[in-house]
A and B are shown apart, each in its own frame.
Chain A
Amino acid sequence: MTQQTADRDLTSEPPPPPPSGRPTGRSDGSHARNFSSGFLVKLAFVAIFDAGALYGILAAVAVRSWVIAGFLVLAMIAVNWAYFSKRALPAKYLVPGLIFLFVYVIFAAVYTAFVAFTNYGDGHNSDKADAVAAILAQNEVRVEGSQAYALTVLSRGDQLGFAIVQDGEAQVGSAEFPLEPADDATIEGDVVTAVPTWDVLNFAAIAQQQEAVVALRVQVSGDPNDGALRTNDGSTGYVYESTMVYDEAADTMTNTATGTVYTPDDHGNFRSAEGEVLTPGWRVNVGFENFTRAFQDDRLRGPFLQIFVWTFVFAFLSVATTFVVGLFLAVVFNDPRVKGRRYYRALMILPYAFPAFLAGLVWRGMLNQSFGFVNEVLLGGASVPWLDSPTLAKVSLLMVNLWLGFPYMFLVCTGALQSIPGDVIESARMDGAGSWRVQRSIVMPLLMVSVAPLLVASFAFNFNNFTLIYTLTGGGPNFPGAPITVGATDILISTVYAIAFESGTRQYGFASALSIMIFIIVGAISWWGFRRTRSLEEL
């Protein structure tokens, strides 16, 4: 008997089932009494997730990212509830995917809409406090006739700091914290020679990081208006004070040298009465300005209209050309008397297995005006500007997209043709329909029922076909004089990219507004298209 209890304790086996008739309060599947290997795996995964989330929460709190911290807390609660509650059966299977969906699709979409109404971008990257600090720092000049300090440059990890002697007392500070007394530092004469936990940099080490040392500002006190300690040579430090003074109560910036007063305007900048603007500014809500800008700015309107029209033309012609060619080939090779059809098909769909970015880059080389294969070999040394003339670049794009896209249409049409029941065609022929009539009145309508939704999807895809445009022409040839780097073959999505990342100043707000506009256009067209195709189905 004792033997038995010992065994049970060792292996933590569940107790023998209660005698029949005695009601069991809970069902027998509780994990507390059933440590299956599956449960242990689950426990391990949830534990790893919790550890990661906890680390994330601490890190987020440390940098004051309250949104991230809050989301992680919610995610942690959701995961633990899903995997340890017996009632949350479907949630066990849905939660992992939903977390990714929430962060990287839904949040991204909502955030796009949010940014679209702001002036987020270069010059407006952060909040007002950061902008004030940056303006004060930019306008610092050495205080006239101020004391020169013998300066010691310190380092700790990848952080740099300064140490000086003021009134016989050592003061240490870095970019992260203002000067503060360091009683345990060693002072020789008027120079600090050692500070606990910091390394003192010698001349060679300073020379190595010259740029970082010259750029370092150590605030004299917690108030940025008091100025900062800086150095030019790594051995002498001066107190620099900003010529700007920020008055928190009045919310104004004043230039002490000229007396000009700058007040905040509704675009997130300090502006003087004369209209002079201080940079950087901060993020503010600008309403619908980003949405109307493309139509109101004179220098943007022309290029933007061209891009807008070309996007539609490109998407429509891409679908039309690939579909016509694909359908033609499908009909031609749907004849069982053609020998070797299988091999023909396998070879013809090669481009479908070819990544689009490779196709774009390879054709870019082949279409090169001076050295490309097409001009040099196929056209015997011609000099056709395939990618350098606005019109020909568009033609080239459509041709390359045809090369890349017809196999898909070919496959789809072949499948649709083969699924048309033979007896329908047979009966049409019995009724006296000729071959052409059968094609036009029976085969095509039936084919369109199944293929039309895919044509709508293909239109939506090509409307946003960034990869091909970017790898083949890069949007060029560029429009001269436009304030953003866009060109004759840019479509809307590549314009968004150009505005956000490639036009000198990054304008995330404007780019996001354009994304939202594309979303509305594609959404409306797809909705209309799918409704139309549903009506085809009722034929």
Chain B
Amino acid sequence: MTTQSVEGNAPLKGARWWREIGWRHVVAIVTIVLVALPIVYILSASLNPGGTLTGSNDLFRTIAFDNYSTLGPEGFWQWMRNTLIVSTVTAVGTVILGAAAAYAFSRFRFRGRHGTLTGLLLAQMFPQTLAFVAIFLLLFTLGKVVPALGLNSLLGLICVYLGGALGVNTFLMYGFFNTVPRELDEAAKIDGASHAQIFWTMILRLTAPILAVVGLLSFVSSFGDFLVAKVILQSKDKYTVALGLYSWASDERTADWGVFAAGAVVAAIPVLVLFFALQKYIVGGLTAGAVKG
């Protein structure tokens, strides 16, 4: 903090170091141990072919990959595929729909613009998690007309998630789009570019960082969604990873804990990788939001 920088740069020694700096390292190590404990535990359990909860308590007693090879026959990869399809399509769709709307709000002045923006904000007040009963009944009825959009369909689930595409994200992008100078649009227009060319080839490239953040947030939230997916998807072969792993872990008598652990490790990887690859953007986005209020 800036307060300390006044005191000069001489390295501290002994008791004074402990009093001012050293204890912070202790706090860090204790926190990290607590944070890492479940992660280390599940990693160890996934490598232990014993399969029971008790057998998993001896950390790293054995190291074998039996559990990972059991994932296939149990249908795990099908769930993983479903999840990746749903989350990827949702993320791409959310970015395109949201960016298009943000472009319209940022670049065009039209009748009803203010009203539509306010309406979008109001629509966010009723989150989809609250409307899941109505969503269930809606898809039940839709499914009688177009089965692909009904219950127990991945496409139906994606459509429900895309309902949230014009939401908080649109406002995030709207703010960012406004920071791209309008003079650029004007210049492109003079060069003969159409509004569509300006959008697809210029604006989307200039706003790539915010698109990455929105895409990631959307991917992560549909990856981790439990409630809506549970209401919509009913048969095991349509499950997402969240539902599949829940069906393993919640059944305490027959649960094969080792296989569940292996599945959990695999399921955690995509989000972890994305998160650390884009960490800079996310932390920036979060704190930017925080500072702006």
B38, B131, B250: the one within 8 Å of A108 (CB): B131
Whether B133 lies near A500 (C-beta < 8 A) is: yes
Contact mask for chain B residues 246-287; partner A; CB cutoff 8 A; 1 contact, 0 none = 100110100001001000100110011001100100010011
Shortest Cβ distance from B272 into A: residue:
A353
Chain B residues closer than 8 Å to A107, beta-carbon distance? 134, 138
Residues of B within 8 A of A366 (CB): 38, 41
B212 close to A (CB within 8 Å)? no
**B227: A residues at CB distance < 8 A:** 466-467, 470, 493, 497
Contact A101 B134 (CB under 8 A): no
Q: With CB as the reference atom, state the residue of chain B lying closest to A508.
A: B133
Cross-chain contact A65 with B144 (CB below 8 angstroms) = yes
* Contact, CB under 8 Å: A464 / B129: yes
Contact B27 A105 (CB under 8 A): no
Encode B98-138 as 1/0 by CB contact (under 8 A) with A. Answer: 10110110001010010010001001011111111111111
Q: Which residues of B contact A373 (CB under 8 A)?
A: 41, 56-57
Q: Which residues of A lie under 8 Å from residue B15 when comparing CB positions?
A: none
- Specify the main secondary structure of chain A where it touches its partner: helix
Q: Is A432 an interface residue (CB 8 A)?
A: no
Q: Which of B63-71, B74-82, B181-189, B191-199 contacts A (4 or more CB under 8 A)?
A: B191-199
B260 near A361: Cβ-Cβ < 8 Å:
yes
Q: Roughly how many angstroms separate A426 CA and B5 CA in the complex, as a whole number?
A: 10
A34 to B245 alpha-carbon distance, docked (Å) = 54
Q: Which B residues are CB-close (under 8 A) to A97?
A: 97-98, 100-101, 165-166, 170
Nearest B-chain residue to A523, judged by Cβ: B125
Q: Does B21 contact A (CB under 8 A)?
A: yes
Say if the beta carbon of A16 comes within 8 Å of chain B.
no
A79 at the binding interface (Cβ < 8 Å):
no
Which residue of A100, A333, A429 is within 8 Å of B165 (Cβ)?
A: A100
The answer, among A335, A337, A348, for a CB contact under 8 Å with B35, is: A348
Q: Decide if A396 is an interface residue (CB 8 Å cutoff).
A: no
A373-B57, A453-B293 are known contacts. Are A515 and B1 too (CB-CB below 8 A)?
A: no
Question: Is A81 an interface residue, CB under 8 A from the partner?
Answer: no
Taken together as a complex, chains A and B put the C-alpha atoms of A426 and B1 apart, in Å, by 11
CB distance from B254 to the nearest CB of A (A): 14
Known: A348-B32, A500-B133. A411 touches B27 (CB 8 A): no
Interface contact A466-B226, CB-CB below 8 Å: yes
Q: Tell yes or no: A111 within 8 A of B by CB.
A: yes
Contacts of A352 in B (CB 8 A): 275
- A95 → chain B, closest Cβ, in Å? 9
Within 8 A of B (CB), among A96-115: 96-98, 100-101, 103-109, 111-112, 115
Task: Give CA–CA (A156, B108) in the complex, Å.
Answer: 57
Within 8 A of A (CB), among B38-56: 38-39, 41-42, 45, 52-54, 56
Within 8 Å by CB of B163, from A38, A56, A101, A350, lies A101
B195 touches A415 (CB 8 A): no
CA distance A346 to B268 in the complex (A): 16
Check A362 for interface membership: any CB of B closer than 8 A: yes
Determine the distance from Cα of A347 to Cα of B135 in the docked complex, in whole angstroms: 38
Contacts of A353 in B (CB 8 A): 271-272, 275-276
Complex contact B32–A344 (CB within 8 A): yes
- Please indicate the chain A residues that have their CB under 8 angstroms from the CB of B271 in the complex: 353-355
Given A68-B142, A100-B162, A347-B36, the answer on whether A417 and B31 have CB atoms closer than 8 Å is no
B224: Cβ under 8 A from any A Cβ: yes
Bound-state Cα–Cα, A327 to B288, Å:
17
Q: Are B134 and A362 in contact (CB under 8 A)?
A: no
CB of B223 within 8 A of CB of A355, answer yes
Query: B204 within 8 Å of A by Cβ?
Result: no
Residues of A within 8 A of B125 (CB): 519, 523, 526
Closest Cβ–Cβ distance, residue A351 to chain B (whole Å): 6
What residue in chain B is nearest A534 (Cβ atoms)? B293
How far, in angstroms, from A339 to B130 measured CA to CA in the complex? 46
Assuming the contacts A93-B199, A373-B56, A467-B226, asked whether A335 and B110 have C-beta atoms less than 8 A apart, the reply is no
Q: Which listed residue (B108, B135, B245) contacts A89, Cβ 8 A?
A: B108
In the assembled complex, A454 has its CB within 8 A of some CB on chain B: yes
Residues of B within 8 A of A356 (CB): 224, 226
**Chain B hits for A518, CB < 8 A:** 130
Contacts of B291 in A (CB 8 A): 415-416, 419, 450
Q: Do A329 and B31 form a contact, CB below 8 Å, given A353-B271, A357-B246?
A: yes
**A interface with B by C-beta (< 8 Å):** 29, 38, 55-56, 59-60, 63, 65, 68, 89-90, 92-94, 96-98, 100-101, 103-109, 111-112, 115, 120, 329, 332-338, 344, 346-348, 350-359, 361-366, 368, 371-373, 376-377, 403, 408, 411-412, 414-419, 422, 425-426, 429, 435, 438, 449-454, 464, 466-467, 470-471, 474, 493, 496-497, 500-501, 508, 511-512, 515, 518-519, 523, 526, 533, 537
Identify 23 residue pairs between A and B in the complex whose beta-carbon atoms are under 8 Å apart, listed by A's number.
A65-B144, A94-B104, A97-B165, A100-B162, A100-B163, A104-B128, A104-B163, A109-B131, A332-B24, A332-B27, A333-B28, A346-B276, A348-B31, A353-B276, A365-B45, A365-B56, A368-B53, A371-B53, A412-B290, A414-B287, A415-B287, A467-B227, A496-B133
| Additional 11 contacts, C-beta under 8 A, given A90-B110, A101-B123, A411-B286 | A38-B194, A63-B145, A105-B131, A112-B126, A120-B137, A332-B24, A337-B12, A357-B226, A363-B38, A425-B1, A526-B125
Contacts from B to A (Cβ < 8 Å): 1-6, 12, 20-21, 24-25, 27-28, 31-32, 34-36, 38-39, 41-42, 45, 52-54, 56-57, 97-98, 100-101, 103-104, 108, 110, 113, 116, 120, 123, 125-138, 141-142, 144-146, 159-160, 162-166, 170, 194-197, 199, 220, 223-227, 231, 242, 245-246, 249-250, 252, 257, 260, 264, 267-268, 271-272, 275-276, 279, 283, 286-293
